[in-house]
Structure 1
Amino acid sequence: MNQPNGRCDLHTHSQASDGMQSPAANVELAKQKGLAAMALTDHDTVAGVAEALRTGEELGIEVVAGVEISTRAGGKDIHVLGYYVDIEDKTFLERLRNLREAREERNHRIIAKLQELGFAINWQEVIEGLGRPLEPDESIGRPHMADVLVSKGYATDMRDAFDRYLAEGKPGFVSVPRVAPEEACRWIREAGGAAVIAHPGLYGDDELVREIIQNSKPDGIEVFHADHDLAEERKYADLALEFGLIQTGGSDYHGVRQGVVFHGDLGSKSVAVGVLQSLQIAARRNRES
């Protein structure tokens, strides 16, 4: 590690899923922010990781091969982060492909729901909204649909689109069958990575989070996140200590939409680079088990 006292943002998204920038641009921004390392953790895909790794080598910033897997538990969408996964593991790639197929089914059902609400929106407009061709193994998410809602005046911005239509429990929300968190954690371990429960504060159910930890045996939990306040950081740090979990953190950076950074600016939440060593040790242990 070139910067033993440096910081790292372990939760960022690129155009390979629902981020606004290329993987290379994320790495360049991390370098500009003075970070020592960053992880690329796109939803249900590792399509952007190779580009991020190449850019990291060119710029002298460490890039962690990551992913964010969509799961379901306790009637809620739960996300599991994977770090140091083997992006060439064929079994893992096939599992992610199956998740993206479920995601695409969900997307089309969301469009149908929005149409039932009287909104003039279709799938082609969502794709055209990318401003570029959809590359193989990339994934489309709700933020892309939120962009169309905003552009057509149905919502004022991304947050408004989610709060009124796309968030869980809202009229346009759709849930499809997904794997359980324990299965996602197993997949990550089998792909040689370390598994981490993402942004527990967003689920609004700490008993469920505790149950997931007990059932899934993750390597870590995301204590520091753009949507966690100080009280939540302390609470999840205590939970990490209770279960012997690695305390990770990141901005959940998706770029700028309608002039608003979503969730947080890259580097706005970070952890010491020493956390990477803990994740590497966990990943190595998982590979050897």
Structure 2
Amino acid sequence: MFEADLHTHTLASDGTQTPAANVRMAKEAGLSAIAITDHDTVSGIAEAIAEGSRLGIEIVPGVEISTVAGSQDIHVLGYYIDIRDLRFLKRLESLRETRNQRNEMMLERLRELGLDISMEEVLREVEATKSEGDTIGRPHMASILMKKGYVASISEAFERFLGKGGQAYVNPPRIEPAAAAAWIREAGGSAVLAHPGIYHDDALVEQIIRGGMDGIEVYHSDHSPADEARYLALAERHGLLITAGSDFHGERGGVVFHAPIGARRVSTDVLKRLQTKRGEFQ
């Protein structure tokens, strides 16, 4: 069966592996296609396409855009965007600037809590792996917190400090999901609501998809079977595309986040529908 994992991250954002390494893992997992969906950047896609061409793996050019709705972070996946679209690239740059502002605010809160961690330390941590257009995120801060002994694991760093409800969590103003979906379509892509189960607010999820989503990530590593059944029914009710993704971020501290490549997969039949769905929503 021809299958795809449509949600993976690389060193271009907060993953721990190169785009080429993700493609090789997709090959080893028996996949026919993989999407590279780094946070607010498309800088890793060209490398993935080159490796995909070598190995015979189809690369879906993607992105995961950070937005806010209902006072919480909402992520919107974009597929088959034109990664050379200058307007889209400029928009992503503005999102990375907001992300950098968020990072500084969180680091300030950590210092107020007595945790000695600076942006300079975070930058030193990633300098060997980052290129222009890449992003820095909370996992990089979590890694420093663990190395300095403030937490025992990346998970603890998020639970106590960096995740929603954590002592250092902040949520600066961002665009709304509908705006992200519009940007994605204007760049020639299809917009899919990422991992709706982690928001714990199905009324909000329904509101968001009515605002312009082409699909829902029904199958995700953090979804329970009950979540998947509920979102499958929701997608079918609204005539939306159904996608699946591991949300692979690589390994930190001996733990794979969120799951290995291929842990959630969908038939490659959906790829053609993602390409033909573009621009349908008005």
- Match status 1:169 vs 2:150: no
- Match status 1:43 vs 2:39: yes
Match of residue 183 from structure 2: 187
* CA distance in 2 between partners of 1:202 and 1:285 (Å): 27
Match of residue 88 from structure 1: 84
Counterpart among 229, 232, 235 of residue 230 in structure 2: 235
* CA distance in 2 between partners of 1:248 and 1:207 (Å): 20
Match of residue 135 from structure 1: 131
Q: Specify every segment of 5 or more residues in structure 1 that has no aligned partner in the other structure, as ranges.
A: none
Identity %: 52
Conservation of the 8 A alpha-carbon contact between 1:71 and 1:178: yes
Match of residue 99 from structure 1: 95
Counterpart among 225, 247, 253 of residue 252 in structure 1: 247
Scaled by the length of structure 1, the TM-score of the pair is 0.95
What amino acid does structure 2 have at the position aligned with 1:112? E
What amino acid does structure 1 have at the position aligned with 2:146? V
Match of residue 116 from structure 1: 112
* CA distance in 2 between partners of 1:31 and 1:285 (Å): 32
- Aligned length in residues: 282
Match of residue 66 from structure 1: 62
* CA distance in 2 between partners of 1:129 and 1:155 (Å): 17
* CA distance in 1 between partners of 2:88 and 2:255 (Å): 34
Match of residue 23 from structure 1: 19
Deviation at 1:107, TM superposition (A): 0.4
State the SS of the aligned residue for 1:252: coil
State the SS of the aligned residue for 2:83: coil
Match of residue 274 from structure 2: 279
Match of residue 263 from structure 1: 258
Q: Specify every segment of 5 or more residues in structure 2 that has no aligned partner in the other structure, as ranges.
A: none
Scaled by the length of structure 2, the TM-score of the pair is 0.98
* CA distance in 2 between partners of 1:283 and 1:49 (Å): 20
Q: Which moved more, 1:57-66 or 1:150-159?
A: 150-159
Deviation at 1:129, TM superposition (A): 1.6
What amino acid does structure 1 have at the position aligned with 2:104? H
Counterpart among 154, 158, 170 of residue 158 in structure 1: 154
Match of residue 79 from structure 1: 75
CA RMSD of aligned residues (A): 1.1
Match of residue 2 from structure 2: 6
Deviation at 1:120, TM superposition (A): 1.2
Deviation at 1:284, TM superposition (A): 6.5
What amino acid does structure 1 have at the position aligned with 2:224? D
State the SS of the aligned residue for 1:119: coil
What amino acid does structure 1 have at the position aligned with 2:245? G
Q: Residues 82-113 of structure 1: CA distance to partner in whole angstroms, max 9, x if unpaired?
A: 00000000000000000000000110111111
* CA distance in 2 between partners of 1:190 and 1:172 (Å): 35
* CA distance in 1 between partners of 2:238 and 2:277 (Å): 14
Q: Which moved more, 1:152-161 or 1:84-93?
A: 152-161
* CA distance in 1 between partners of 2:124 and 2:215 (Å): 38
Match of residue 219 from structure 2: 224
Q: Residues 189-243 of structure 1: CA distance to partner in whole angstroms, max 9, x if unpaired?
A: 000000000000010100000011112x211000000000100000000000111
What amino acid does structure 2 have at the position aligned with 1:233? E
Conservation of the 8 A alpha-carbon contact between 2:215 and 2:240: yes
* CA distance in 2 between partners of 1:31 and 1:276 (Å): 17
